[in-house]
Amino acid sequence: MIIEKKSQILNKDLKKNSVLCLVVTYNGGKTIKETIKSIARQSKTPDKILLIDNASSDGTINIIRSLNIQNLELIILDSNIGVAGAYNLGIDTATKQNFKWLWIFDQDTICMEDCLDHLLDPVIEGIEEIQKLAALCPTVKSKSFPEINLPSYKWNGKRFLNIIADNTEELIPVHSSITSGTLYQVKVLQKIRGFREDYFIDFVDHECHMRFNKAGYKMFWVHKASIFHELGTAKKDSNGEIMFTHKPWRYYYMGRNMTDGYIKLGGLPSMWAFWSDAMKQFKRLRKVNGNMGISFCFFIRGIFDAFIKNFGSLKSNTFMFSGKSKIQ
C-alpha cells in the first residue's frame, strides 16, 4: 500500500461540520477526472479528499496526480479489496483524523456545485432526529438521461420500493439510497461496524443502510442536492423505457448478495420477491443486451454461492466460468 499526501490540514481542531470526501477507484481513468473536478469546485468544499485506489492498471493514478488538487490524500492498494473494503478503510481514516462527516463517491459520479452545501443545510438548521441521524443522500440523476431520477427507497417488509417525492419536499425519510454522493456521520458508521466487506461489491449500500434502520438511526433524502450517476449502461428499450445493463460478471454479485441480503431482511417471502423481480428484469434486458445468457449464468451461480456462504471476490472463490465474459 502506498500513501501520498498532497498537503495536510494544519488545524487539528476541525470545525464541527468537517467533511472528508472519499473517492474509491478501480480502473476509472475514463471518468475520474470529471468526478474529482466536480468535488473540488463545490461552493462549500470538503476539508479533505481521500482517494483510495483498488490497484488500478489503466493509468487512473497518473490522471489523479496530474490534477494537482490541494488537500488530497491518495492511498494506492496492492490488490482490489472491493468497494466495501475501501469504504471501511475510509471510515478508519476519517476516525483517526477526527472528521465528523464522510462523503462517499464512486469514480463515475458528478456532483452539482451546491451539492454539499444543500446536504449540510439540514444539519446546520437542525432536525428533530439529529441525535439519530446516520446519513443524508442527494437526488440521483442518470448521466445518460438527466431527466430520469434514480430512486431512493423504502422497505415495506418484503422488498425495496421506489420513493416518489414532490419537488417541494425538502427532507424525505428513506430507508436506503446508493452510497455514491451520500453524506454519512462517521460515528454512526463506526457504531454499526461499517460496510460488509465480503459482499465486495453490489448491495453493500442497502445492507449497511438497513442496519442503520435496525439500530434506530435515520436517513434522509435532501431533494435540492443533486448528483449525476449511472447504474451500469443506460439504454432505451423498444417502448422507450430506460433500462440499465451491466457487464455479465456483475450479475454474479447481484444474485449472491441480494439473495443473502433479502433473506436476512425479510426471510423466504423477500427472497422469492427478489427472484421474481429479477426474472422480469432479465426478460426485459434480453431485448437490449445480447449477453443476457452469460449474465444469467453468473446470476444463478451467485444464488448458489449465497446458499453455501461463499462470499468475497469472484476471483478468489471457487467459481470458474468458461464463457466469453472477462471478469474485471
CA separation, residue 58 to residues 32, 69, 85, 308, 327 (Å): 12, 20, 21, 34, 15
Dihedral, CA atoms, 236, 107, 255, 309, nearest 10 degrees? Answer: 180
Which pLDDT belongs to residue 276?
95
CB 328 within 8 A of CB 247: yes
Query: Model confidence at 322, in pLDDT bands (50, 70, 90)?
Result: very low
Q: What CATH number is given for 2-231 in this structure?
A: 3.90.550.10
Q: Grid coordinates in use for 24?
A: 474509491
Is 89's pLDDT higher than 70?
Answer: yes
Residues of the chain with CATH 3.90.550.10: 2-231
Which pLDDT belongs to residue 11?
42
Instruction: Give strand ranges (E) for 26-85.
Output: 48-53, 72-76
Measured CA to CA, the distance from residue 288 to residue 249 in angstroms comes to 17
Which pLDDT belongs to residue 232?
72
Which pLDDT belongs to residue 78?
93
Lowest-confidence range among 96-105, 178-187, 275-284?
275-284
